[in-house]
Amino acid sequence: MKTDDLISLLAEDAPVRSRLGPMLALALVGGLALSAVLLLATVGIRHDMAAAIETARVVFKIVVTLALAVTACGMVFRIGRPGAPMRPSALSLLIPFALLIAGVATELITVPESNWRAALMGRNAAFCVFFIPVLSLAPLAAFLSALRYSAPASPALAGGAAGLASAGLAAALYAWHCPDDSPLFLMTWYTAAVAVVTIAGSVAGSRLLRW
């Protein structure tokens, strides 16, 4: 039997199709809840958030990370369904990317060049790269467990999507603690942390999601 034929048969498997949606939804809610509890039980929300949320930089950081979380989670919900078109989900990932590029461009125009390095390095770069992956662990494990009920055409790609979504959720949570608000910091260190989790998800998916 050809691979395409097998994928088509699996796509028509009603029990798998009916279970996957609820499983992924449960993974999303449960993983996000566990990560939120971990954040609040450890570092907590930044003490000046009530005032900081009124600044454009903080709002921008939250919007970009939420956009990544929403678009990447949308990809996960589609990638586990054989035959589902992935192009719309893939293109939607350009939204947070475009927002980030626009924010960085604005930062470079409005902030003196002498302050660029300080804005990029921030105060908690190492902790950001460490803690976002930590916050990603629960949703990544939950997504991978749910995707085992699916039949992705590419296990590595499905795992990478799960990693990207988990990192997006973690970044959206961490943004409420992070005292570094520059788009340059967001582009550099948040992106590095997201890349680490995405790669880890891809490696895990290639092993756990084989069928």
| Predicted confidence (pLDDT) per residue in 50-84, tens digit | 999 999 999 999 999 999 999 999 999 888 676 66
Cβ within 8 Å of residue 101, ≥6 positions away: none
Q: What is the C-alpha separation between 78 and 46, in angstroms, rounded?
A: 35
Mean local confidence (pLDDT), 143-149 = 91
Positive or negative, the CA dihedral 76, 77, 82, 85 is negative
Residue 14 belongs to some domain of the structure:
no
Q: What is the C-alpha separation between 58 and 4, in angstroms, rounded?
A: 46
Positive or negative, the CA dihedral 49, 108, 106, 175 is negative
Question: CB–CB of 105/116 below 8 Å?
Answer: no
Residue 5 belongs to some domain of the structure:
no
Provide the residue range defining the domain that includes 100. 20-208
Residue 92's pLDDT band, with cuts at 50, 70 and 90, is very high
Residue 50 belongs to some domain of the structure:
yes
pLDDT of residue 87: 82
Q: Of 93, 57, 32, nearest to 186 (Cα)?
A: 57
Question: pTM here?
Answer: 0.88
Find tokens 């939804």 and name the residue: 25
| Average pLDDT score, the chain | 90
Helices (H) and strands (E) in the chain, counts: 11, 0
Q: What is the C-alpha separation between 163 and 153, in angstroms, rounded?
A: 17
Positive or negative, the CA dihedral 129, 179, 183, 168 is positive
Residue 104 belongs to some domain of the structure:
yes
pLDDT of residue 1: 47
pLDDT tens string 98-115: 999 999 999 999 999 999
Residue 72 belongs to some domain of the structure:
yes
Residue 7 belongs to some domain of the structure:
no
* Number of separate domains in the chain: 1
